[in-house]
Amino acid sequence: MSTITSQDDEDTFKILIATDIHLGYLEKDPVRGNDTFVTFNEILEQAQTNEVDFVLLGGDLFHENKPSRKTVHSCLESLRKYCMGDRPVHFEILSDQAVNFHFSKFPWVNYQDGNLNISIPIFSIHGNHDDPTGADALCALDILSCAGLLNHFGRSTSVEKIDISPILLRKGRTKIALYGLGAIPDERLYRMFVNKQVTMLRPKEDEDSWFNLFVIHQNRSKHGATNYIPEQFLDDFINLVVWGHEHECKIAPTQNEQQRFYVSQPGSSVVTSLSPGEAVKKHVGLLHVKGKKMKMQKIPLKTVRSFYMEDIVLGDHPDLFNPDNPKVTQAIQAFCMEKVEMMLDNAERERLGNPQQPEKPLIRLRVDYTGGFEPFSVHRFSQKYVDRIANPKDIIHFFRHREQKEKNDSDLNFGKLVGRPASEGMTLRVEDLVKQYFQTAEKVRRFRESRRKNTEEEDEEVREAMTRARAHRSEDTILASASSDEELMDMGMKATGDSDDSLPSTMSRGRGRGRGRARGARGQSSTARGSSRRGRGNTSQESATSSRTYKPVSIPAKNMSIVDAFRSLKPQPSWNSSKSYSEDIIDDDSDVEGIPVVPSSRGNHRRNLTPSRALQHQEELNDFRLARSERPLKEMESSIRSIPCTMLFCKRWFALNLHFCGMA
């Protein structure tokens, strides 16, 4: 870090740097309620006393996202008291202010507003406590900016890409490029840095002549795999980084050995947690910049409430404390009281040299009671220091370390079984589990989509194949049926038209069923149409003429067609015969012959087969053939048996047709 010999030169910037003021913290506490407002007044008073060019705040000016009326009123009162006046501002803005303050209704710095009289401009980014929220994405800093008391910059509204445009300042021959980035969730910003989605824009002219100052409000120390921002993510052309959000005061610039820039961590100006980092003395910085050289001057804050903290390990004092002693708890309590009194004495001596410091200090005593000790009553202990300590309820904090088991070589090392990146360390975080879950869910979704697509393609191919096969089968069936039906019609015409003297004048029809049972035939008399008889087996009454019974027809040989098999029967009678005959047609089922015939109660239905009636039967036959491709074989056989009696002699032909068509 280069030093500056003349600090009051007209080419030298003087900048007061502070972060994490947290206005309004514990404002309702009767003892500590005004600590933040008193310290904020001291910071602005230091800026006025040192006649700085501007004040640079690193976020978390307010402790709450929606500060109370008291907090806002106190802040406005301090800004108007110390930042408004007739003292001129000696630097100018070279950048496009409409870009630097594009989210504001008044996109220009407040000291250039003709309606305002600003003597000390304040530039501030927002932190994680006072970040923009709500539908309009407003924060408390926007109220101050709209009032003309503060310049809010470094705001980014995009979650996909961040372009950081600097505010270009010039005083004499010194030029500063002021970069700012308000608080963003660390995991998101970490991912954006890794994906190269954060860009820091540089001036087009004389890039190397600018002093690049960057203010950021993020986790600097590592709290998890991605819950922080490594310094290596920042560009190496930066000269100084002012790091907010970390409360431990490390305001002296330290150089990053890899990126070669300096980092200053001013810390908070108020104690917001009773932790070791808060016990470090609070400071603000007075930065002097001339050309490319800089100097950081530490200014201690005198109005900050003193904080003393000490740890006690009871196991380290075996000569004083024995867990088996029944009065060991009283001994521990007396020892803690002695430690608290010592810290109170140190706070009193420090306050003698600083009358601006609050009277009551903050005391924290952490007691490790590992080893069989028992804690005493904290509330009873606190009652003794209500009038002397600012935090009487939080003086004692008992804790116990977990006993670590000795490593055994025979124990199974689960870390070797589950491979994880080295960056994850040994910490399992909820953010990592959520990220892993969504990555796995995305893979599962893609697999399901590909499998569903393949299944749909396969189903479509199967449907097309079934459609082609069905169409081909229907064509073959229609062609075969057409030729067979024509020949069948010829046989029916001959059987009805020709006369046969040897045939009986009445015709009765028998109908049987295999597998141990038979059904009686039903016949119709040609002379008496209205009165009919129906029975099982042969008719119960023979006509005057001789009756004739056809024997079962054997299955034709393979070299005979179906029609030839029917033509091999006796010559069929003619349609013009005036004689009537009775005929019994019996199925070719060998197990039917020995079954006795039981007469049926239903009468025989007699009908004359005319050419029009034959055509009607032919249409019924065609309808049946079209429907049989969609019906099971048993239903088809049942339908065959229910065809009118005149066409029942074709039953055997249907069975053979089904066999040759591949349906049987």
Which residues are designated catalytic?
A: 129
* Calpha distance 343→449 (Å, rounded): 68
* Relative orientation angle of helices 651-661 and 633-641, to the nearest 10 degrees: 160
Count CA atoms closer than 13 A to 331's CA, side-chain side: 16
DSSP code of residue 385: G
For CA atoms 453, 456, 462, 466, give the dihedral sign. Answer: negative
Q: Is the four-CA dihedral 7, 8, 9, 12 of positive or negative sign?
A: positive
Q: How far apart are CA 536 and CA 596, in angstroms?
A: 9
Q: Would you say 600 and 535 are in contact if contact means Cβ atoms under 8 Å apart?
A: yes
Amino acid identity of residue 267, one-letter, is G
Sort residue 206 into left (φ over 0), alpha (ψ -120 to 50) or beta: left
* Cβ atoms within 10 Å of 273's Cβ, excluding its own: 10
**Owner of token pair 């479509």:** 460
**Using an 8 Å Cβ cutoff, are 65 and 131 in contact?**
yes
Strands in 396-399's sheet, in edge-to-edge order, are 307-313, 362-368, 396-399
Which positions ≥6 away from 188 have C-beta within 8 Å?
159
Q: Please report which helix (H) or strand (E) contains residue 42, including its range.
A: helix 35-49
Pairing of strands 240-244, 262-265: parallel
**Pairwise CA distance, residues 398 & 415, whole Å:** 32
Enter the tokens of residue 656: 């053979």
Name which of 248, 214, 238 is nearest 20 in CA terms: 248
- CA angle at 151 for the pair 137 and 81, rounded to the nearest 5°: 120
Which is nearest to 54 in space by CA: 151, 196, 192?
151
Name the residue type at position 190: Y
Residue 355 CB partners (closer than 8 Å, separation 6+): none
Beta bridge partners of 522: 534
- The Cα 408–Cα 262 span in angstroms is 45
Q: Name the phi and psi angles at 499, rounded to 5.
A: -100, 145
- What are the backbone dihedrals phi and psi of residue 448, each rounded to the nearest 5 degrees, phi first? -65, -40
- Tell me phi and psi for residue 521, to 5 degrees: -80, 155
For the chain, count helices (H), then strands (E): 13, 20
- Cβ neighbors of 237 (< 8 A, separation 6 or more) are 202, 207, 212
